[in-house]
Amino acid sequence: GDGYPLCVDLPEKMFLRKGAKYRLLGASHMPELMEDNPAFRNHSRLKKFVLNSFSSLKALLCNVDANGNCQYKNSVVLEESLSCMADECQADTLRVVEVGDGIHYEYIRPPCVELVFYPDAKKIQMPKNLEGALDSSCANPLLPYASEACCQSQSDTVANRFTDYLYDQERVSFFTASDRCTKMGRTSCDFISIRDIGDHMKGYHWTAVNCAIRVKVNGAGQVALVYEPDVYETLHPHIRSDNQNFFKVFWDGDFPKTNEGDTAGNACGNNACENLPDGGGCLCDTVTTTSQAFNEMPSSASEVLSKLTIGAYDISAYDKSTYPDMIAASNENGVTAYFTVSKNIFDTDTVFEVFDEYGRLHRLKNRIERVQIEGASEYAFRNAPSFMSVLNTEADARDAYYETEAALDHYFHHQNTAPFMAYRLIQKFTTSNPKPRYVKAVATAFREGSYQGIGSGEYGDLGATIAAVLLDPEARSVNLEADPFNGNLREPILRLMALMRGMELQRSEGQAVVKLNDLDTRIGQMAHSFPTVFGFILPEYMPDGRPGDASLVGPETMIMDMPKVVSLLNGMFSLVKYGLCRCRGGLGSDWTNCNEGDYSRAAAYLSYSRPYDGKKSLEDQADEVVSELSTILTSGRLGSENKRIIKDAYIEKLNNTETTDAAGAAMRVAQQLMLTTPEFATTNIVKKTGSLRKKPDPPQASGASYRAIVYVLFGGGCDSYNMLVPHTCGANQTDMYTDEYAVVRDVIALAKEDLLMLNGPIENQVCETFGVHPELGSVQELFNQGDLLFFANTGVLTKPTDKENYWRDTVAQLFAHNFMQRAAQRIDPLKAEDGTGVLGRMRDALARKGLNVGAFSIDINAISLVGEATPLTISKKGIIQFNDAATSKGMDSTISLLNGETKVDSGVFAEFYSDVVMKSLSQNQQLYEALRGLDTTTKFPNSHLGKQLGMVAKVIKSRNKRKADADLFFVSTGGWDSHSQMLNNHKNLFANVDASFKAFASEMKKIKAWDSVTLIQTSDFARTLTPNGNGGSDHAWGGHYIMMGGSVKGRQIVGSYPASIKEGSPLNIGRGRILPTTPWEAMFLTLAEWVGVVDEAEFDYICPNRGNFPDSSFFVAADLLEIST
């Protein structure tokens, strides 16, 4: 709200002033951006505000044409202020006006803000309703937020409306209400009821009762607003002293804090404030102060912008008497001042006009508003602005829209926006790792709106920005093309589009559109099918291999895994051979006869062709064809050796094809081979050694007992306080459910009777009995059988900390999905083994013992599995064979030649591509053979998680074929980012988890692998205990997690469930965000010992940060799992 005018400072009768806006409603008299009781829609005696026939406002809204007929516009903005007429002169504000002929307009007040704290507050209340509640609140007497209620005397409890009130749902200020009562010979009073109005017409009415506006301060310095009228019956929960609606303010220095558990406490401001019980913080009286910032002309626009935050409305909208000197005082420093008294007499109503660096005009008042703690003025903070009224009846869609627009405008003009946009666009268009000078040049074009004469000159001009991206020397330099660290991997969908565009895709007759089938799951991308709000790839993703060794990011490498590599190549091969269809892994929707070169039944086909009439030599024909393909598909990057290899294949096919279309068959061979080259897949120059890549040695088992760890990530942040819930506590313990859980969770709490009970008593926890979500019946059963346990209050930590110091003790970027997910997979907060994950390091340690360890991620690349060896990514749908029914014999060998070893100065992304492709094709064939004919005997759910765990089960079943000593798996399931409708969403989410976990456990038992498999579940973070306004919860920190398997010593909750979760409790850092007490390291060190790691040095490698914690932070592995000796 900084920079916006205060609502109390808007000109009187703003609805007639310059800039006032009216929005056409038509025949409806119900406002759309403000809220009226629905009963008014059909109210037979509705009192409307009908504009007088002589009203200037009516004439403007009517917009009469030459024939005298109104031509109503959808919206009307007053270009100059109007004089009032009739009832307009008596109104403080308007809601809906009737212009005539049953046509209505809604008045849209300009954007403005209220200060949260203000003086002389008055109580407003609603008359008693049918339930007998007398709802009270407080309001600023200067604002039109309630109606009048007039009594015979102050002691009277039955009031009347003003006889001549202007319209139903009219709002007036306290002073207008008092004047109306005086005209009736009555007075404002503390009423109970109002005569002759229906329930839907009651609303808030002014009383003469004073209100105190107090502030509650928590241990982090955040504040909550507390209203206390001198007399009241009922207050809304969000303004009572027990509310938890804390928000950030900017203190001048220290703030009142309790001494409880805080060595820096000051006895609630040296006893100026009330010390609330149970760690509730300090409750203080407040005093608001107003001062001026400047006594003379500021030295610059930047000085004005740095010191002033309260905006002002357009000076020309006020009466001339308000700012009489419209010429104003101005000088050459870029500042114009308007004065209310006389020129150069500065006061708090002086208005400064300045332009910022983006050319935006700012009008700012020479005013500083602060809030002091009464009795301890050394504790003070800046008064916070708010678009949304604290009054529930006045918090409307209009102000939500204004607040959203203000937030977007702030983000758009933030100093980081230009370099952020520059970096992202460069990554998309030219290179994944741009140099700082390049980023600065593009950011400058974004800020200035111009690049080499291109652009409008306005901030944020994307034409100028894209021109800078594409025309900068770093984008066009021939020398930089030879830089092995320049360039990028082309996204899979761009490779497919390049093929279709370059090879001239044509729709078959009768096909209206070209439909590509299931691309998002098969190749990792499809337009409008983002898997998460972060898109398909993360811009900061760093792959393994040569790019990772050089500390380069490669966003596109994130979705280059074995199943997607094979699917994309198969799909493009099918398009070349059969047209767009489903043949041999095709990307179309329909089957054809699957005869190569026959496109008669395909939805579309590649029409590019180069017939051979025998007039040229084969060598010249091949050279011409391959050179043209190189130009079209690789921008001429195809190296001489790869060009020769493809030419030879083209000639061989042309010589050995007996069909009438030998040139077509040869073209299809050349096209397919071109699509496998690193020059097509990347923007790098490739320099080859001439040697083939070494094939991996066949695996050998060591004879060790088989172990498997299955890591399941609940992506988005699982609200685990509704997964594991306190139920029954001992006689000497707090009733955690009733006194804390149900109170704090409020509308998102689970009913106690719905919880599924875990067998107790649970030892060493705050309660002896816990329950789980009602959809987790199998989880309950596994726990009670002794095969499942919970880790309580676990999360990312750099070292042990507390609520006063966590922000300085924790290096992780808290509460952000991408950073917290990576932290949960890496378990390396200080980046000692940067670029690796905890399971990958575990695999390394086991490999050093001579074990054959598989590492499999299902459907997505996972950092958790990255170590010295490359993990495999496989599809939940299974393994598909590569290049079934190849166009020519020996194609696989030719592809190996095209992707042979490269020199050290060859492009790193091309090297990464060729390495991944060759490993993927080899591993794909091995897994295809290992899994062929295998299936599960248990039916898994037909969900993303169910299918993933079903594939994990098949891979485990193939352990003997693969000669595996151990396997590490990563699976994930999304949808947990429950900012709204959490209870409903959790029903489906937990039901899916429960069914999937049940099927997996059942299958493991059937194949006699249950004792050899441990499943561990984590999430980005838990969620806020306090609900938001949408029936959901927001990003938090410590949470509860599952470990299950035949070796798990279940029926226990390890770690420490918080002894208190109330606001102000030692672990609650605000809004129900709980500080974890068990680090991720404790979970994974236990698993490492179970899977066979014994060397202390290896434990340090697996969890490099473990030395930052005392031994008491970790578990004795044998207490949690059966450990083999």
Phi and psi at 836, nearest 5°, equal -120, 165
Residue 808 DSSP class: H
Looking at residue 933, its pLDDT comes to 87
The β-bridge partners of 353 are 336, 363
pLDDT, residue 744, reads 93
Q: pTM to 2 decimals?
A: 0.76
How confident is residue 1125, by pLDDT bands cut at 50, 70 and 90?
Answer: low
What digits encode the pLDDT tens for the residues 367-380? 999 999 999 999 99
CA distances from 579 to 93, 180, 597 (A): 67, 81, 8
Q: Can you give the pLDDT at residue 134?
A: 82
> Across all residues in the chain, what is the average pLDDT?
92
Supply 499's token pair: 């093929």
Q: Which long-range contacts (CB under 8 A, 24 or more apart) does 449-454 make?
A: none
Of 125, 134, 97, nearest in space to 188 by CA? 125
Q: What would you report as the CA-atom Rg of the chain, rounded to the nearest whole angstrom?
A: 35
**pLDDT per position as a tens digit, 108-121:** 999 999 999 999 99
At residue 740, φ and ψ (nearest 5 deg) are: -125, -60
Question: What value does the mean pLDDT take over residues 257-283?
Answer: 85
pLDDT at 520: 87
pLDDT in tens, 1048-1080: 999 999 999 999 998 878 899 888 999 999 999
The angle at the Cα of 413, spanning 410 to 418, to the nearest 5 degrees, equals 135
Contact between 829 and 798 (Cβ < 8 Å) = yes
Angle at 284 between CA 279 and CA 286, to 5 degrees: 155
Q: Are 78 and 19 in contact (CB under 8 A)?
A: yes
d(CA 380, CA 378): 6
Q: Give residue-wise pLDDT tens across range 22-46.
A: 999 999 999 999 988 888 888 878 8
Please report where in the chains the tokens 């062929």 appear, as a residue.
Answer: 932
C-alpha span between 710 and 712 (Å, rounded): 6
pLDDT value of residue 262: 61
Q: Is it the case that residue 746 has pLDDT exceeding 70? A: yes
In angstroms, rounded to a whole number, what is the distance separating the alpha carbons of residues 776 and 1045?
A: 16
Encoding tokens for residue 591? 């089957």
**What does the pLDDT look like over 820-840, one tens digit per residue?**
999 999 999 999 988 889 999
pLDDT at 396: 86
Are 46 and 111 in contact by the 8 Å Cβ rule? The answer is no
pLDDT higher at 100 or 228: 228
pLDDT of residue 1123: 87
| Predicted confidence (pLDDT) at residue 590 exceeds the cutoff of 90 | no
* Backbone phi, psi, residue 795, to 5°: 175, -175
From the list 822, 829, 908, 831, the residue with the least C-alpha distance to 865 is 822
3-state per-residue secondary structure call for 719-785: CHHHCEEEEECCCCCCCHHHHHHHHHHHHHCCCHHHCEECCCCCCCCCCCEEEECCCCHHHHHHHHH
What is the full DSSP assignment across 257-298?
Answer: --STT-TT--HHHHHTSEE-STT--EEEEEEEEEE-S-SS--
pLDDT band at 130 (very low <50, low <70, confident <90, very high): low
Prior bond to 761 cis, omega within 30? Answer: yes
Q: What is the pLDDT of residue 329?
A: 55
Digit-coded pLDDT (tens) for 665-707: 999 999 999 999 999 999 999 999 999 999 877 778 888 999 9
pLDDT band at residue 326 using 50, 70 and 90 as cut-offs = low
- 453: confidence class by pLDDT, cuts 50, 70, 90: very high
901-914 confidence digits (pLDDT tens): 999 999 999 999 99
Tokens of 308: 């002033």
The Cα–Cα gap between 797 and 828 comes to: 10
The confidence score (pLDDT) of residue 661 equals: 85
Structure-token pair, residue 667: 């073209």
- How many other C-beta atoms lie within 10 A of the C-beta of residue 337? 23
Q: How many CB atoms lie within 10 A of CB 681?
A: 28
Check whether 264 has a pLDDT greater than 90: no
Tens digits of per-residue pLDDT, 762-792? 988 999 999 999 999 999 999 999 999 999 9
Task: Find out whether 735 and 729 touch, Cβ atoms under 8 Å.
Answer: yes
Closest CA to 126 of 37, 38, 45, 244: 37
- Entry field: residues in the chain: 1125
* pLDDT value at residue 605: 96
* Per-residue confidence (pLDDT) for residue 1030, from 0 to 100: 87
Strand pairing partners for 124?
A: 137, 206
Give the confidence band of 591 by pLDDT, cuts at 50, 70, 90.
confident
Instruction: Name the phi and psi angles at 589, rounded to 5.
Output: -100, -20
What is the rounded CA–CA span in Å between residue 482 and residue 683? 10
Distance separating alpha carbons of residues 865 and 283, to the nearest angstrom: 50
Angstrom CA distances, 760 to 771, 1047, 1054, 1116, 1121, stand at 10, 20, 14, 22, 19
**Of 191-205, 390-404, 702-716, 737-751, minimum mean pLDDT range:** 191-205
Average pLDDT over residues 219-235: 91
Distance between CA atoms of 594 and 313, rounded to whole angstroms?
A: 71
**Per-residue confidence (pLDDT) for residue 428, from 0 to 100:** 94
**How far is Cα of residue 200 from the mean position of the Cα atoms in its chain?**
39
Beta strands at 223-229 and 234-235: parallel, antiparallel or unpaired: unpaired
The position carrying tokens 């599924």 is 756
Strands 282-291 and 274-275: antiparallel
Best CA proximity match to 116, nearest among 80, 140, 95, 141 = 140
Write out the H or E segment, with its range, that includes residue 872.
Answer: strand 872-874
User: Which of the four pLDDT bands, split at 50, 70 and 90, describes residue 464?
Assistant: very high
pLDDT for the residue numbered 263: 63
pLDDT tens track for 602-649: 999 999 999 998 888 999 999 999 999 999 999 999 999 999 999 999
Q: To which H or E segment does residue 100 belong? A: strand 96-100
Is the Cα dihedral 659, 660, 661, 663 positive or negative?
Answer: positive
The CA angle 799-803-805, to the nearest 5 degrees, is: 55
Please give the pLDDT value at position 807. Answer: 85
Q: Confidence band (pLDDT; 50, 70, 90) for 325?
A: low
| pLDDT score of 524 | 87
Q: Which residue is listed with tokens 């299918």?
A: 947
Per the structure block, which two tokens stand in for 1109?
């914690």
Q: What share of the chain is helix, strand, coil (3-state, %, to 5)?
A: 30, 20, 50
Q: What is the mean pLDDT of residues 933-957?
A: 95
Question: Residue 918 — φ and ψ, nearest 5°?
Answer: -65, -40
